[in-house]
Amino acid sequence: MNDIETIFIDGSMGEGGGQILRTSLALSCITGKRLHIENIRSARRNPGLAKQHLSCVRAACNICNGKSHGAAKGSKVLDFQASPVHSGDFRFDIGSAGSTSLVIQTLLPALFLAHKPSTVTVTGGTHNPLAPPFDFLSETFLPAIKTAGFQGDCKLLRHGFFPAGGGKITLRVQPRQKQSPVPAPPVSMQTQVQANQAIDLCNSGQEFRINARIYTAKLPTHIAHRQQKLLLQSGLNIQNIEHTEVRDSQGPGNAVCVRLCCNKRTTVFTAFGMRGKPSEQVISEVVNLAMNFIDSGAAVDHFLADQLLLYMAIANGGCFTTDRISAHTKTNMEVIKKFLPVDFIIEQQGECFRVSCQPLR
């Protein structure tokens, strides 16, 4: 037990946020390597572990009978030791409006490598600013990684907006399908992933079918009408606008999703309304995200780009084009390289960037 490698992570590197913790926990579960992380979320206004991050630690411990030291609110240092990952029916309650999607993303990479299917149910926020909303998880992220044999299906059981929370999502995870008898290099002390189709998302379609979805919960109907009018005036060729008046939310909320559909793939951009934020600003945010992505000619938006990196590393390769390289993306690359023998190559191609993952020989 004493000869198990320990990976030391500086949580202040790069963008210095919670993604460093989540990626590190996932990779510790996958590889079996001990994790020691310091300066957790040092770049944030309230540094250290918050409720949402503690939920990620507890969830990671749950799926692998792991042990942690330092898992307390506000803690900036954490030690984590995983045992072999096991499948199961897992249920987690964040206890706040923290993002359910981010907890799931901590667990997914390891659960895909388990031997049997798992179900994960998380209670918290389903539509949060600064986190992937359920629509992105369901329509953009899961279909993208499915191309490399990572199959999961999620359902929204109850909406949860910030700050009330109380939403619930459930996700069914299938063990990664092994399509080839040729073994790949080991990525875990507990399991091996065999060769499979790599993520290859480099070619963007020429024409998008553009739809929009407006969520309102416990808000006057004129807000949705105003946002619908602004969307139609935005310059995007929106073919359909759907208004969902949420009745199961514990508190008020507003989110506007623009959905770009092309080549059997959907890219979802979202902006959130809040007290004191005019609808003009909400619509401007989401429309600008969509227009900039369309103009770039990329196949993958920069939010998805950050999340594909780990799955390319597990699959021992892959590539995509994206509209920009964010600080999140660069930081995630550095964390992954500390655990797995891979490298990432970034090449600018016109208005977009090609990112590829290659194993180190």
DSSP one-letter string for 45-80: SS-S--HHHHHHHHHHHHHHT-EEES-STT---EEE
Residues whose CB is less than 8 angstroms from the CB of residue 95 and which lie 6 or more positions away in sequence, other chains included: 51, 55, 124
Given this chain, do its domains 1-85 and 198-202+297-361 carry the same CATH topology?
yes
Residues 91 and 170: beta-carbon distance below 8 Å: no
| Annotated active-site residue in 127, 159, 302, 328 | 328
CATH architecture of 209-295: 2-Layer Sandwich (3.30)
User: What is the CATH code of the structural domain delimited by 198-202+297-361?
Assistant: 3.30.110
pLDDT at 196: 58
| Ranges of each domain in the chain | 1-85, 86-182, 198-202+297-361, 209-295
Q: Are 111 and 88 in contact (CB under 8 A)?
A: no
According to the model, what pLDDT value does residue 181 have?
A: 32
pLDDT value for 43? 83
Specify the pLDDT at position 185. 37
Q: Is 127 a catalytic residue?
A: no
Order of strands, sheet of 318-322, starting from the edge strand that comes earlier in the sequence: 199-201, 318-322, 352-359, 342-349
Predicted pLDDT at 345: 97
CATH of domain 1-85: 3.30.110
Burial zone of 195 (CB within 10 Å; 0-12 exposed, 13-18 middle, 19+ buried):
middle
Average pLDDT along the chain, 361 residues, taken 10 residues at a time: 83 92 97 96 89 94 96 96 95 92 95 95 94 96 93 96 94 77 36 60 85 97 97 94 95 97 91 96 97 94 96 94 94 96 95 94 73
For residue 342, list its beta bridge partners.
Answer: 359
Domain 86-182 class in CATH: alpha beta
Q: Tokens 């990479």, residue?
A: 109
